[in-house]
Amino acid sequence: MTIGGTSLPERAYDVAIVGGGNLGLWTAHRLAARSFGTIAVLERGWAGGGATTRSAGVVRQQGGSYVAAVLGRLSRTLYLELGDRLGIDSGFQEHGYYIMAQSEGDKNVFLELINVRADAGVDSAWVEPEEGKRRFHDLDWGLFTGATYCAQDGFVHPPIAARNITYAALDDPSVDLYEMCEVRSIEHSGNLYSLETTRGTIAAERVVNAGGPRGAREVGTMVDVDVPVRAVRHQVVTFPFLPDGVTHPLPLMFNLGKGYYVRPEEQGALLGMSNPADESDRSDRYQLNYDFGYHNKLRIEWEAEFPALRNLPISRSWAASIDYTPDHLPIIDQPREGFYVVAAGGHGMMWGPALGEKTAELIAEGSVSELPSGDIELARFAEDRSGAAADSIALPFPKGE
């Protein structure tokens, strides 16, 4: 249920979730599914209105680590199950996904990852260039050494995914959503946390920091917890149509080395890209400037590799922020008694349902199954991580911050 008015109730909640994006809403929904108690979601804007609906919505099980593959598999399942439960479309579109290799070194790494994914319950396969030409003829496979492919990968339409999880969370009477409710400070006394917000003060036994790229670090500092999450620009452009004779809807493709991907979008295509030279964005803005200089530089590459996109008109372009962690892996942890952190490592739409499920599991049951603790806990960032697991299939993010 949604609470109107300008002030918050005086009663204490069992859980207060700071952040009403994909992670926060899925955490609320999965806690409610366990009948855990009363839950308040505190969102400084609108539910799903931050990074969530500005994303491209790719749901890829072909992770670059065991953890990434597990989260991708579980998220895909949960997106589909939620649509079935609500009786409306899930927003998930399954079109298959090619992750392109450009060198023999890439090929060797990708072949190893097929086994890692299999251990996580994800079926992916290696595709040689000659086979790729037959299956996805719109790409110039002569520029690649092959690709891994998963037929069950695809994407969700972000507005539909945000609609569904907001509806699902509010459908449970144990969940209250407070919009336009920015958290200003957090104090801990006895067995309660007191959260001062722009709509008044609220109390809760437990607090979940799901602040995303624009809030996770700041919320952490309120309780003296360092959360190594930064925001970085990500750019998205859409093309209104594809030339005659081009496969449509086309499968997804990701050129890992050059940091761009393509997926279907209505009658045309969507392309997302990240510039490895971009630094972390420390502003508080949701809308960032679109870098047409980098767009035009990378356009030479994508038009050579994907000729069907050559000289297409643009229907939309935007730049938004995504979160990242130093190793591209998520955070699911309880660094202080009753204070939890969940962060997506740049994969909020891709992993959101699974991260919500695992955070709810940690809160309700005291531990997280399937995922190695060393790959999700905050303590890993204070350790020597040379040779440790990281997600090797990820967009380029700033280094050393």
Q: List the domains of the chain with CATH numbers.
A: 93-153+230-324 (3.30.9.10)
Is residue 361 left, alpha or beta, with left meaning phi > 0 and alpha meaning psi from -120 to 50?
alpha
Contact in structure between 281 and 275 (CB atoms under 8 Å): no
The span from the CA of 79 to the CA of 358, in Å, is: 15
pLDDT digits (tens, 9 = 90+) for 183-211: 999 999 999 999 999 999 999 999 999 99
Region 44-71: what's the mean pLDDT? 95
pTM, to two decimals = 0.96
pLDDT digits (tens, 9 = 90+) for 9-56: 878 999 999 999 999 999 999 999 999 999 999 999 999 988 899 999
Mean pLDDT (the chain, rounded): 94
The span from the CA of 271 to the CA of 395, in Å, is: 13
Nearest Cα to Cα of residue 397 among 285, 277, 261, 302:
277
Region 76-89: what's the mean pLDDT? 97
pLDDT band at 146 (very low <50, low <70, confident <90, very high): very high
Q: Residue 66: is its pLDDT beyond 70? A: yes
Residues in the chain: 401
Q: Residue 8: is its pLDDT beyond 90? A: no
Nearest Cα to Cα of residue 72 among 367, 357, 268:
357
pLDDT digits (tens, 9 = 90+) for 367-391: 999 999 999 999 999 876 555 668 8
Query: For residue 363, what are its two tokens?
Result: 């809160």
Nearest Cα to Cα of residue 328 among 309, 344, 340:
344
**DSSP run (H or E) holding 320:** strand 316-324
pLDDT at site 268 = 97
The residues pairing with 143 across neighbouring beta strands, listed in sequence order, are: none
Q: In sequence order, what E strands does 118-182 have?
A: 125-127, 146-150, 154-156, 175-178
Nearest Cα to Cα of residue 228 among 82, 379, 115:
379
Query: For residue 401, what are its two tokens?
Result: 């911050």
Contact in structure between 43 and 177 (CB atoms under 8 Å): yes
